[in-house]
Amino acid sequence: MTAVLGGCGLTGDSGEVTLRLVAADYGDTKANSSRNYWNELAKAYEAKHPDVHVDVTVYSWNDVDRKVREMVDAGQAPDMAQIGAYSDYAAKDLLYRADDVLSIPVQADFVSQLAAAGQVNGVQYGMPFAASTRVLFYNKTLFEKAGITPPKTWDELAEAAEALKAEGVKYPYALPLGPEEAPAETMQWMLSGGGNYTDAVGTYSIDSPQNVDTFTWLKDELVAKDLTGPVAPGKLNRADAFAAFANGDVGMLNGHPSLMKIASKKNVEYGMVPTPGVDGESKNTLGVTDWMTAFKENGHQEEIGDFLDFVYNDENVLDFSREYDLLPVTSSASEVMSTAPEDKHLKPFLNELLLSELYPVGKSSWASVSMDVKKRIGQAVDPGGSPSAVLGQLQTTAVRAESGE
C-alpha cells in the first residue's frame, strides 16, 4: 500500500518506495531472458539506494503491450513500462514528460533522431530504449548449394527462392507476418516498394497503390508459389523465423542485429545485404526503437527519474546492447560502439540508423493501428485474401483512430 499511497516519492513513515517496472523480453531462451538483465540492474541500484525497491515483471513481446494496457485500464499502471508505443498514453496525460524525470545530460544524450521520434507536439514523452535496423540475411551454405547470389531486386529474390525450394529448403524466404512483429516486416516491405504507413506529410496511406502492389506481389510471387515455408505467414512469428534460420531451415529473411548471435551459436554461415527493392536495393531501411515510459499514477517522479538516469548510463546501455546485439540509443554509447573492436559486427546497422525510417510513433493512433496490423496483415497474403481489401480495412482503422472515434 505504501507505494500506492505515496505521492512524489513520499511514502509514509517507512520512507521506502517500490517502483514497478514492466519490461519486454529480448531473449530467446530462459538463460538469456531480459529478466536476468533487469534483476541484476535492480540489485545494483538497490545496493546504492536501500530505500528503493525495484519490482520487475518481464513479458514476451507477444504480450507486453497488451498487459500494460490492461494494467492501465484497471487503474494499476506500473511506474515504468518498456514497451512498443507511448503516444496514446501521452495523449491521455498519463505519462511524465522526459524532462520531468530525466536529468538534463541524460535527456540530451539520446540520439537526436530517436529523441525526436519520442515527441508528441514537440514534447518528449517516449524515451528510446533499444534500437535496431534491418537487412536481408541469407544462409551462405544454402545459397552456394543452390548456385545463387544474394538478391538486389524483388525479381531476383523470387528467383533465388525458387532455386532454394528446388534444393529442398524448408523456408526459401521466411515471411513472419504473425502477431509478434508483423508491423516491422510489413513496413520493411512497404518501404522496399516505395510506400510506407504514412505519406510525405504524415497522413496515413496504408492502402496506397504502392502498398497494394507490394502485398499483391508478395501474395502472388512468394506465398502462392509456396516459397515462404510450411507455416502461413500470418501464423509465423519473428522469433520462430529466427530460430528456423539458426537451424539451417531458412534461405533468407529480413533480420535485425540479434539474429547474428542466434545464427552464430548454431554455426550458421550467414551473409547480410541491403533489403532488395522493386528495381534495385531499397532506398529506405526500417529503423525500430522501443520505448521506456514513466507513468504518473503512483506519483514516484523523483525515484523514477533517479532510477532511469542509472538505466541510461553508458555502462548499462552498452551492457544491454551487447547482450542482445541491439543498437544503443544514446550518442555517447554509440560513439563507444562505433570504434570498439568487439562491436565491429554492428557497424553496418549503426551506419544505417541515422538514415532509417521509423514507425509513426508520435501519432496517438499508432498503438491501435499497430495492433490491427498484427491481427490482419497476414490475411492480405493468404490464398483467398485480398491485399487491397485488407489494407483498406487497416486504413479505415487508422483514419478512425486518428480522428479519435
Is residue 262 exposed (0-12), middle (13-18) or buried (19+ Cβ within 10 Å)? buried
For residue 60, give the 3-state DSSP assignment: coil
What is the reported pLDDT for 6?
32
What is the rounded (10 degree) CA torsion for 26, 32, 33, 34? -60
Report the pLDDT value the prediction gives residue 11, as an integer from 0 to 100. 40
- DSSP label at 274? P
Task: Domain 135-284+365-402: give its CATH superfamily.
Answer: Periplasmic binding protein-like II (3.40.190.10)
- Per residue in 44-54, pLDDT (tens digit) is 999 999 999 99
pLDDT in tens, 138-158: 999 999 999 999 999 999 999
- Domain pair 2-132+288-353 / 135-284+365-402, same fold: yes
Q: What is the pLDDT of residues 13-66, one digit of tens each?
A: 356 899 999 999 988 778 889 999 999 999 999 999 999 999 999 999 889 999
Query: Given a cut of 80, is residue 354 above it in pLDDT?
Result: no
225-282 pLDDT per residue, tens: 999 999 999 999 999 999 999 999 999 999 988 899 889 999 999 999 999 999 999 9
Query: Could you give the 3-state DSSP secondary structure of residue 276?
Result: strand
Alpha helices in 247-326 (DSSP H): 258-265, 301-311, 314-324
Q: What is the pLDDT of residues 320-347, one digit of tens each?
A: 999 988 999 999 999 999 999 999 888 8
Question: pLDDT grade, residue 369 (50/70/90)?
Answer: very high
Q: Which helix (H) or strand (E) holds 293?
A: strand 287-294
d(CA 133, CA 394): 24
Distance, in Å, from the CA atom of 380 to the CA atom of 385, rounded to the nearest integer, reads 5
Strand duo 287-294 + 270-273: pairing: unpaired
pLDDT-derived band at 361 (thresholds 50, 70, 90) equals: confident
The secondary structure element, H or E, covering residue 55 is: strand 52-59
Average pLDDT over residues 308-315: 97
pLDDT at 405: 59
- Going by pLDDT thresholds of 50, 70 and 90, the confidence category of residue 3 is very low
Q: Could you identify the residue written with the cell 514507425?
A: 359
Q: What residue spans define the domains of the chain? A: 2-132+288-353, 135-284+365-402
| Contact call for residues 214 and 277 (beta carbons, < 8 A) | no
Query: Residue 141's CB: how many other CB atoms inside 10 A?
Result: 13
Mean of pLDDT values over 394-405 = 89
**Residue 345: per-residue pLDDT:** 86
Between residues 404 and 165, the one the model is more confident about? 165
Residue 400 has phi, psi (to 5 degrees) of -65, -45
Lowest mean pLDDT among 41-45, 98-102, 130-134, 240-244: 130-134
Q: Which amino acid is at 159?
A: E
- Residue 204, all three cell numbers: 496515413
Question: 173: part of which helix (H) or strand (E)?
Answer: strand 171-173
On the question of pLDDT at 4 being above 80, the answer is: no
Among the ranges given (87-96, 195-204, 316-325, 353-362), the one the predictor scored with the smallest mean pLDDT: 353-362
- Phi then psi for residue 38, to 5 deg, are -70, -35
Mean pLDDT of the chain: 92
Given a cut of 80, is residue 223 above it in pLDDT?
A: yes
Q: What is the reported pLDDT for 85?
A: 86
Give CA–CA dist 169/196, Å, rounded: 31
For the cut 60, the answer to whether the pLDDT of residue 208 exceeds it is: yes
Task: Please compute the mean of the pLDDT values over residues 305-319 and round it to a whole number.
Answer: 96
Task: Write phi, then psi, for 139 (nearest 5 degrees).
Answer: -85, 110
Whether 103 shows a pLDDT value over 90: the answer reads: yes
Q: Kind and range of the H or E element at 130?
A: strand 127-133
Q: How far apart are the first and last CA of the chain?
A: 36
The amino acid at 180: E
pLDDT at 306 over 90: yes
Does this model's pTM top 0.85? no
Q: What b/e readout covers 288-321, taking b as 16+ CB neighbours within 10 angstroms?
A: bbbbbbbbbebbbbebbbbbbebbbeeebbbebb
Phi and psi at residue 144, to the nearest 5° = -65, -45
Under CATH, domain 2-132+288-353 is a member of which superfamily?
A: Periplasmic binding protein-like II (3.40.190.10)
Q: How far apart are CA 89 and CA 67, in angstroms?
A: 14
